[in-house]
A and B are shown apart, each in its own frame.
Chain A
Amino acid sequence: MEKMKLQTKIKEEGRYIYCVALGKEEDFGSIGINKEKVYTICYKDICVVVHNCWAKPYVSDDPAVVKKWVEGHQNVIDTAVKKFSTVLPFGFDRIIKAKRGFADNVVKNWLRQEYDKLRRKIEILKGKEEYAIRIFWNRETGANKLINSNPKLKDLSKKIKNLSEGAAYIHRKNFEIKLKEEIEKEADNHFKKIYNKVHKVSEDIKINSIKDSEMLAHFSCLVNKGYVEKLGNILDKINKTGFSVQFTGPWPPYSFC
């Protein structure tokens, strides 16, 4: 009885939205976050993959719970990709809110307003996949190579070895500054070369921020399915020439919607 009273008091409802796709009415069953029933809301030839929820976000300070939710989100999108091929994925925890009983209309209304834009995006992204690429470069190894190949640095390094402790200190400081400059120039050159190589086989590249000091580059690449093997070969070569390559994918085009 208490529960019923509570439910009649709640004036808003939500639709958790997973992705947009070219598709019709579908019922995917209980594959959603927290095993919610997933289905589609349609307008013309496009649809949104949703589950019903309260009009408030999924929030928890337990990382294990959030990890489960996020994996649940991606599982639904994977299912949608298998069914519809091209999808425009939403990020985690996007919930459309509406007055109770009106949520489906709000979703359809949004599809109607955005129809042309969404249709165009789907066309552009057909047959393409996103890959996340991280390239690591050990700056210490790079520094040693640089000292041996750069005459100025090589001379400075020899000079320091022959000086007394005190005299060596200042020269060493200058040397370190100079070395750091040269390393960053080198890193920059490597980045540009790698970017160009990857760009040749990609439709689009987004450059992501880097927090790791060993990381040289972090890209999100949109690649035509037919070019994925070429990308793999290029990354393989890069991996064998003094860099370490880590990549994941294919992802639906989160970065290119």
Chain B
Amino acid sequence: MKKATLVDLLNVVLNKGLIINADIIVCVADIPLLAVSLRAAIAGIETMLEYGMMQDWDEAVRALGKSHKK
């Protein structure tokens, strides 16, 4: 997915959409934090792309993923 599309996708799925009454929805209190950390990650990806460091970033993220699976 193109970077611009991903940025806009995040904007709509994390901030917008049909509203539903809170009493039947699972509490998503963690979600704002999710959005923040993901935006930071995306910003990081953008910077890496600019400086041609995408490969390093991919490897770092994959390493992070592995450590969490433990």
A92 at the interface (CB under 8 A from B): yes
Measured between beta carbons, the chain A residues less than 8 angstroms from B11 are 132, 208
Contact indicator A71/B20 (Cβ below 8 Å): no
**Main secondary structure on A side of the interface with B:** mixed
CA distance A97 to B17 in the complex (A): 19
Contact A63-B42, Cβ < 8 Å, known A55-B26, A74-B13: yes
- Chain B interface residues toward A at CB < 8 A: 1-2, 4-6, 8-21, 24-28, 30-31, 34, 37-38, 41-42, 61-62, 64-65, 68
Which A residue's beta carbon lies closest to that of B45? A63
Residues of chain B within 8 A of A22, CB atoms compared: none
- Given the contacts A254-B12, A254-B17, A97 and B38 also touching, CB distance less than 8 Å: no
Q: Please report the C-alpha to C-alpha distance between residue A128 and residue B28 in the assembled complex, in whole angstroms.
A: 30
- Among the 9-residue stretches A34-42, A83-91, A196-204, A226-234, the one with 4 or more Cβ atoms under 8 Å from chain B is A83-91
Other-chain contact of B17, A57, A90, A95, A98 (Cβ < 8 Å): A90
**A140 to chain B: which residues have CB within 8 Å?**
none
Contact with B along A227-248 (1 / 0, CB 8 A): 0000000000000000000101
B8, A93: Cβ atoms under 8 Å?
Answer: no
Interface residues of A in 90-115 (CB under 8 A from B): 90-98, 106, 110
Bound: A246/B34 CA distance, A: 26
Q: Which residues of A (194-236) have their CB < 8 Å from a CB of B?
A: 208, 220
A51 contacts the other chain (CB 8 A): no
User: A88–B2 Cα gap in the complex (Å)?
Assistant: 24
